[in-house]
Each structure stands twice: as structure tokens, then as C-alpha cells.
Amino acid sequence: MHSITDSKVITKSGERRRKSRWSANKHFLPNLPTVLPPDLTKEQIKAYLLKLEIEDITKSLRSGDYLLVRADNRSPSPEPVYDAQGKRTNTRELRKRQELEHQRHDKIQQLLKLDPSYKPPTDYRSPQVRLNEKVYIPQDDHPEINFVGLLIGPRGNTLKALEAETGAKI
């Protein structure tokens, strides 16, 4: 298509142009206006910037380009941690992905406070929060009561019914 001779570029039609370091390709980001209206409030500008940041993080998570970090800019890796199968659970990729997902979650929560009608990206799932609470059984105070038998019930039916009713794992 192009042939380079000295500092000139010859196109298909035979005309000569100066060689440029800039790409002739135009980059287009859909649904992102490049000029903002002047009458936006601070909240609207903040919401717009949050949308841009969320979209940028989502794009990098989908494409996997968050791994492209120069070796001299990286922080030192922590000691490796392995699971029961011997697979490493804290690789650089996993740590960076978790960091980006956490940033995206925080920004989506901020944006939902500013704009409740905002729809998060389709691949976004809010992190599952596990609540743990211990309930102590007064076995020493009441040794005559069989608490384990009462909780489990015949064939575990009482326990199953409690788990189904409360939605909690007992």
C-alpha cells in the first residue's frame, strides 16, 4: 500500500506525502462525547468521570491488558500462597485482577449513590459478603437439655428446616 522513500510516502494513487510519526487511523470511542455541555453540575461531572473510569477498568479486565506492567515499575511480590491442591493462589495476575475488581466495585457504588438509575456493566457482579456469627449454646448452664439433638432433630429435619427458613448455613 505504502512505500517509503527517504522522508516521503507514496500512496496507491501515486501522490507523495510527507512521512509522519502520527497514525492516520482515527480512534473512536462509542457513546463517549468529547465535548461536555458547560451547564453541568459538579455531581454530573463527577458521575461522568466515574462512568469513564468504570468503563476503562471494565475494558482492561475484559481484554486482560492490566498485565502489561514494566518489570521496573512493579512492586515486589509477596510470598507465594498455595491451596490444598498445590495451586498458587496469589499470583501477580490474580492480585491485579482483584485490585481492579475492587476499584471498579468502589466506583460503581459511588456512582450508584450519585445516580441511582445507573446500570452497572453486564459482567459486573457485586462481591459476596459472608457474615459469620457464633451463637453459643448454654450447655453448661442446662446440662439436662440435649441441645444437639434438638437442633439436628430426627434425621436432621429440624436443621434442614432451619436452614431453609433462614437461608443461613448452620
Structure confidence at residue 33 (pLDDT)? 65
For the chain, the distance separating the N- and C-terminal CA atoms, rounded to the nearest angstrom, is 70
Structure confidence at residue 104 (pLDDT)? 94
This prediction has a pTM of: 0.57
Amino acid letter for position 77? S
Q: Each residue of 116-128: pLDDT tens digit?
A: 999 998 888 888 8
The rounded distance, in Å, linking the Cα atoms of 88 and 69 is 21
Structure confidence at residue 40 (pLDDT)? 87
CB 159 within 8 A of CB 151: yes
The rounded distance, in Å, linking the Cα atoms of 88 and 80 is 7
Give me the phi and psi of 77, to 5 degrees please. Answer: -75, 145
Distances (CA, A) of 91 to 84, 109, 118: 16, 27, 33
Structure confidence at residue 38 (pLDDT)? 85
* pLDDT beneath 50: ranges in the chain: 4-5
Structure confidence at residue 152 (pLDDT)? 86
Structure confidence at residue 144 (pLDDT)? 92
**Rg of the chain, C-alpha, whole Å:** 29
